[in-house]
A and B are shown apart, each in its own frame.
Chain A
Amino acid sequence: MRKPETRLQLFDEVVKWARNSAPPADYWTLRSVAEESETLSVRRDVVEPARIESRCGAMISLVRGPGMGYSATSDLSAGGLRAAFARALHWAQLHAGLGLFNAALFPRSDAQSHYRTRTIEPWEARAIEDKLALLRDACTALKIDSRILDRSAWVQYRRVLQLLVTSEGGRSERVLEYVNPGLAAVAHARGQTQRRTGGGADRPGQGGLERIAEVGFLDAAPRIAEDAIALLGAPECPTETCDLVLMPGQMAMQIHESIGHPLELDRILGDERNYAGTSFVTPDMFGSYRYGSELLNITFDPTLRGELASYAADDEGTPAERTYLIRNGILERPLGSRLSQARSGLPGVANARASGWERPPIDRMANINLEPKDDSLEELIDRVEHGVLMDTNRSWSIDDSRNKFQFGCELGRLIADGELQGLVRNPGYRGISADFWRSLAGVGNREGFEMRGVGNCGKGEPNQAISVGHASPPCLFRGVSIFGGG
């Protein structure tokens, strides 16, 4: 694997070329990205083909007069860069005459930043044979019953080096590393299939091999398989309206779909209406709209160590800091990068992000977290006379304005008179965002606060998928419409 230092040397040569040879422009940025990844997986005790991937390219954004354009290339030769700058200039010239806004709004950055994921045990510290042995052991541990028809254990490593340089002297350097393991067991009997995941599958994050133990990878295997078998014989989740306790493994998707996306400022400005959609949130709501109960506190937080989208600066060089989006239930601030802030006149955060070198940055979530309060999980359950606890998202759907949602989870458990009861299968629930967050009646404490995330959030035209972090404790909601399968 090419070391980051080697890639950085290549990128500095690219920067040198740009500083000497870029066409005249009012402003440009050059974002060079090198990504290395490895995937190891075992399915039904057979090691699947080991995969080594290497990505490398650069994105140029250029402003001249009222126009702006971009060009991305994997050809980092002088010829390739010259062609890319020429194409970016070409688009800037078209935009100058037909642009939605004057490119004078495009943010300039001269900021310096440096970020590197802290790892305790680097990926290279263990031999491939040891990693495969661990995966094989985990896969074997899933094989507890002949009704387990499919079982998988995997670990993926990713390292992303990005160097962002601007014509105004800005330089933002970062190295992100991720080790993401996971387990899955699929049980089938009498026309019913149940899939259960764990071992880190829904706990992606930054870090090194130490994450494997942190997420309890190997220990999780028997329980996952037992759950899958038990769900086969469990009754369907009832169809009714009742109280709902959501574990962090589902809170992540609830936050993602019905808080994160609606607060993206470029959606509010209409950019995504042809694809990802718009938002029920309007600019006049900020500062006064009651988004949820007083227990609802949502932060944009790039500072949590190990969370998926922690960084020092966004992909336009804006320094990132922890900021409240919703405080005590009142909507304060959108998820808008500096360009969207300039277009709208609203405040925002440092969230201009791109999925890689091939795509331009747009407003994205980064780490969007629900801040903990005071209740233990036991205390939340104790407050439920009649309800269901749901864990681990498996299905998600919401309308294009981010109002009418529906989610499904892998596992449900009845609650009666403040006590957990038996399993229910195929649990799901649906609702409307505004009503739902106002029904938030309990928020777990810091002990229950877990970092989760979504590894493939899709948006943008052209499309791009990016990873985002969501940390949350368990939460209690009153009066939710739930349903089961069949």
Chain B
Amino acid sequence: MRDGFFALTAELAGSLRGNEALFCTLDGEDSDFVRLNRNRIRQAGSLHRRRLGLKLISGDRQVEGSCDLPGGPPQDPTLPRDLLARMRNRLPQVPRDPFLDYSSMPTFSERTLSGDLPDPAQAVSGLISEAGDMDLVGIWASGDTMNGLASSLGHRHWHQSRSFNLDWSCHLEKDKAIKAGFSGFDWDGAGLAQKVAGMRRGLELMARPARTIRPGRYRAYLAPEAVRELMDLLAWGGFDLESHRSAKTPLMRLVEGERQLDPRVCIREEHCRGLIPGFTAEGFEKPERVDLIVSGAYRECLVDSRSGKEYGVAVNAGSGHPESIALDAGDITRSEVLDRLGSGLYIGNLWYLNYSDRNDCRITGMTRFGTFWVENGRPVAPVEVMRFDDSIYHLLGDQMEGLTKVREMMLSTSTYGGRSTASSLLPGILVKAIELPL
């Protein structure tokens, strides 16, 4: 596909006129999906998708477009040529764009993350066999994803990976369930068996009578998966330059110095992790890392080419949304977590987060999966789902007691618009109090 994409770009570039420049991107996947309910196959299928993106530039005018590629190799250029013609017709109709920016010097990269994947049918059959009579619900997603960038100026970039992502939960009655994930590039059947065994043990605790707790403030430990939900919401307008400069970011009070997070909180975007493309759609190369928050204070934003040109800041990302986020570790060991928690909530996962007050970075959401009441360092009962509503300035600020020493690497399970290559490297967090109003 790589050679086919580069050849298609060369052909389209050969049709350019005058001072036109062309940037082409490819976003594709060959994926298998097997969806499970009650430890049986609910729906199984495959997807073959190739999406071509075009950016046609003439002087300081630009038009963007995209189309699905119909077949090949070799790629039939008819549809891309049609699209390019439509874009060329559009160019004189749009005004000069003061925020148009692209890399004028060619850059190059190639990265292939290959994996040793099993046949999905075998992997799923193995999981079903391992899970036995457990009520298992989830999805197997696997296959190749690919991203390319090529331009008439000579840029040539390719990023391809072969991975699997198994995201599942096992259920008792009602809300009683434990969630697990198993993802990566090299299959490990023994590792999967261990995870399933771990879930059986978790379900034994989950089977105890659920405790209903009253609204109020509680000590809590948020496991890395729960922290990921907080980070995913913060990523929604929290770190991009445009949101910061136009006062839309929920971290505005941090930016203005009115609020501070705990000095142990350091959040960065780690492009060096290498799981996402290291290039932007305009040909810029991403730096190894971007320090977003350092020692609890705002440091930098994610800057795409458009906002970089608008606000005069160097490009350091493909978009304003983090894709390789990391939160620094602390010093709480795994074996210390429950003792340090003492009595309170062990929150395995959070769900359906949203802002209740963006000005105060106040976030609401629900507990879900693997949430237990802990007494004197021992988990004693699952809890009925509760709504939390609290500010990041508390949870990562004045109410934060500590972070775990060991962090978890989690590959995104999102498949909106395509299998995501995003990832998070996060610790668990111990908080003195979290507000649960309902």
Q: Which residues of A contact B (CB under 8 A)?
A: 1-2, 46-57, 68-77, 79-80, 83-84, 87-88, 90-91, 94-95, 98-100, 127-129, 132, 149-150, 186, 188, 191-193, 195, 269-271, 273-275, 277, 358, 360, 362, 395-401, 404, 406, 408, 426, 428, 430, 432, 458, 461-465, 483-486
Q: What chain B residues lie within 8 Å of A397 (beta carbons)?
A: 352-354, 364-366, 387
Residue of B nearest to A193 (CB): B247
What are 12 A-B pairs with beta-carbon distances under 8 A? Answer: A51-B64, A52-B63, A56-B79, A70-B43, A75-B69, A128-B90, A271-B37, A273-B171, A404-B387, A430-B387, A462-B139, A465-B416
Pick from B146-154, B194-202, B250-258, B335-343 the stretch touching chain A: B250-258
- The answer on a CB contact under 8 Å between A88 and B45 is yes
Q: How far is the CA of A428 from the CA of B358 in the complex (A)?
A: 12
Find chain A residues with CB under 8 A from B437 CB: 430
Q: Are A193 and B358 in contact (CB-based, < 8 A)?
A: yes
Residues of A within 8 A of B186 (CB): none
CA distance A83 to B69 in the complex (A): 16
For the complex of A and B, the 8 pairs showing the least CB-CB separation, nearest first, are A70-B45, A188-B247, A462-B415, A150-B246, A77-B71, A485-B357, A91-B44, A461-B139
> What's the minimum C-beta distance from A452 to chain B, rounded to whole angstroms?
19
Q: Whole-angstrom distance between the alpha carbons of A91 and B390 in the complex? A: 45
Assess whether A47 is in contact with B95, with CB atoms less than 8 Å apart: yes
Query: Does B179 interact with chain A (Cβ within 8 Å)?
Result: yes
The answer to whether A72 and B46 have CB atoms under 8 Å apart is: yes
A74/B252 contact (C-beta < 8 A), A57-B49, A406-B389 known? no
The answer for the CA separation of A11 and B252 in the assembled complex, in Å, is 51
Whether the pair B63, A95 counts as a contact (CB closer than 8 A) is no
- Among candidates B31, B99, B128, B414, residue contacting A98 with C-beta atoms closer than 8 Å: B128
CB of B11 within 8 A of chain A? no
Q: Write the chain A residue with the least CB distance to B125.
A: A98
The answer to whether A274 and B137 have CB atoms under 8 Å apart is: yes
Q: Is the CB of A358 within 8 A of B40?
A: no
Q: How far is the CB of A68 from chain B (nearest CB, A)?
A: 8
A458 to B354, CA, bound (A): 15
Q: B217 at the A/B interface (Cβ < 8 Å)?
A: no
Partner of A46, one of B97, B121, B246: B97
The reply to whether A486 and B49 form a contact with Cβ atoms under 8 Å apart is no
* Whole-angstrom CA separation of A79 from B139 in the bound complex: 28
**B62 contacts partner chain A, Cβ-Cβ < 8 Å:** yes
Binds A, one of B81-89, B267-275, B290-298, B398-406: B81-89
Q: Are A73 and B48 in contact (CB under 8 A)?
A: yes
Q: Which residue of B lies closest to A273 (CB)?
A: B137
Q: How far is the CA of A479 from the CA of B195 in the complex (A)?
A: 47
**Docked-complex contact B98 and A395, CB < 8 angstroms:** no
A400–B352 CB distance below 8 A: yes
Residues of B within 8 A of A463 (CB): 414-416
Whole-angstrom distance from the CB of B212 to the nearest CB of chain A?
12
B168 close to chain A: CB less than 8 A:
yes
Give the number of residue pairs across the A-B interface with Cβ within 8 Å.
266
Given contacts A150-B248, A188-B247, A399-B387, list 18 more A-B pairs with CB under 8 A. A49-B100, A54-B66, A56-B79, A75-B71, A77-B70, A84-B46, A98-B124, A193-B359, A274-B138, A274-B179, A397-B366, A406-B389, A408-B357, A426-B357, A426-B359, A465-B416, A486-B359, A486-B360
Q: Please, what's the 1-or-0 string for B165-183, where 1 marks a CB less than 8 Å from any CB in chain A? A: 0011101001101010000
User: Does residue B67 face the partner (Cβ distance < 8 Å to A)?
Assistant: yes
Cα–Cα, bound, A192→B72 (Å): 54
| B67 / chain A contacts, CB cutoff of 8 Å | 53-56
Quick check: A186 and B246 within 8 Å, CB to CB? yes
A127 to B419 alpha-carbon distance, docked (Å)? 37
For A428, give the chain B residue with the smallest CB separation.
Answer: B356
Highest count of chain A CB atoms <10 Å: which of B82, B355, B364: B364
Asked if B246 and A57 sit within 8 Å, CB to CB, the answer is no
Find chain A residues with CB under 8 A from B31 CB.
462
Q: Which residue of B lies closest to A271 (CB)?
A: B37
B94 and A399 contacting across the interface, CB-CB below 8 Å: no
Q: Which A residues are CB-close (under 8 A) to B252?
A: 188, 191, 193
* Nearest residue, chain A, Cβ from B43: A360
Q: What mask results when residues 19 to 39 of chain B are scored 1 for a CB within 8 Å of chain A, else 0?
A: 000000000000101111110
In contact, B45 and A69 (Cβ under 8 angstroms): yes
Please tell me if B42 contacts chain A, counting CB pairs below 8 Å: yes
Among B45, B128, B258, the residue within 8 A (CB) of A71 is B45
Q: Is B15 an interface residue (CB 8 A)?
A: no
Docked pose: A51 CA to B281 CA in angstroms:
15
Point out which of B46, B49, B368, B414 has the most chain A C-beta atoms below 10 A from its C-beta.
B46
CB interface residues, B 96-110, toward A, < 8 Å: 97-100
In angstroms, Cα B349 to Cα A399, docked, is 12
Residues of B near A404 (CB, < 8 A) are 366, 385-387, 438
Beyond A98-B124, A399-B352, A399-B368, whether A79 also contacts B71 by CB under 8 A is yes
Bound-state CA distance A2–B83 (Å) is: 10
The residue in chain B whose Cβ has the minimal distance to the Cβ of A100 is B40
Neighbour of B167 across the interface among A57, A273, A274, CB < 8 A: A274
How far is A401 from B174 in the complex, measured between Cα atoms in Å?
8
Interchain CB contact under 8 A, A54 and B45:
no
Q: What CA separation (Å) do A69 and B45 show in the bound complex? A: 6
> What's the minimum C-beta distance from A411 to chain B, rounded to whole angstroms?
15
CA gap between A195 and B94 in the complex, in Å: 28
Q: Which residue of A lies closest to B368 (CB)?
A: A400
Residues of B within 8 A of A95 (CB): 41, 44
Q: Which of B86, B179, B356, B419 contacts A52 (CB 8 A)?
A: B86
Max count, chain A CB within 10 A of own CB: residue among B87, B95, B124, B419: B95
Contacts of A461 in B (CB 8 A): 33, 35, 138-139, 167, 415
User: Are A49 and B62 in contact, with the CB atoms below 8 A?
Assistant: yes
Q: Is B352 a contact of A486 with CB atoms below 8 Å?
A: no
- Chain B nearest CB from A201 CB (Å) reads 15
Q: Quick check: B246 and A72 within 8 Å, CB to CB?
A: no
- Please determine whether B247 and A274 come into contact, CB atoms closer than 8 angstroms: no
Contact A193 B248, CB 8 Å, known A47-B94, A270-B37: yes
| CB-defined contacts of A273 to chain B, threshold 8 Å | 37, 137, 169, 171, 177
Closest to A40 in B: B94
- Give Cα A312–Cα B198 distance, bound, in whole angstroms: 49
Q: Which listed residue (A50, A99, A465) contacts B94, Cβ 8 A?
A: A50
Cα distance A49–B102 when bound, in Å? 13
Residue in A closest to B47 when the chains form the complex, CB atoms:
A72
Complex CA gap A436/B410 in Å reads 38
**B window 64-80: CB within 8 A of A:** 64-72, 76, 79
**From B367, which residue of chain A is reached at the shortest CB distance?**
A399
Q: Which residues of B contact A428 (CB under 8 A)?
A: 356-357
- Within B366-382, the residues touching A (CB, 8 Å) are 366, 368
Q: Please indicate the chain A residues that have their CB under 8 angstroms from the CB of B248 in the complex.
A: 150, 186, 193, 195
Q: In the complex, what's the smallest C-beta–C-beta distance from B178 to chain A, in angstroms? A: 11
CB contacts (< 8 Å) of B121 on chain A: these are: 90, 94
> In chain B, residues 155-169, which have Cβ atoms closer than 8 Å to a Cβ of chain A?
167-169
Give the residues in chain A near B48, CB-CB below 8 Å: 71-75, 80, 83-84
Closest to A431 in B: B438
CB–CB B68/A54 < 8 A: yes
CB atoms of A270 and B137 under 8 A apart: yes
Residues of B close to A464: CB separation below 8 A: 416
- Least CB distance from B401 to A in Å reads 24
Which residue, of A48, A51, A399, has the highest number of chain B Cβ atoms within 10 A?
A399
| Closest-CB distance, A52 to chain B (whole angstroms) | 4
Q: Report if A360-B45 is in contact (Cβ < 8 Å); known contacts: A49-B62, A271-B37, A399-B368.
A: yes
**Given A47-B97, A128-B90, A72:B45 Cβ within 8 A:** yes
A445 to B326, CA, bound (A): 52
Task: Known contacts A462-B415, A486-B357; decide if A87 and B247 are in contact (CB<8 Å).
Answer: no
How distant is the Cα of A52 from the Cα of B62 in the complex, in angstroms?
12
In the complex, which of the residues A71, A74, A128, A132 has the most CB atoms of chain B within 10 Å of its own CB atom?
A: A74
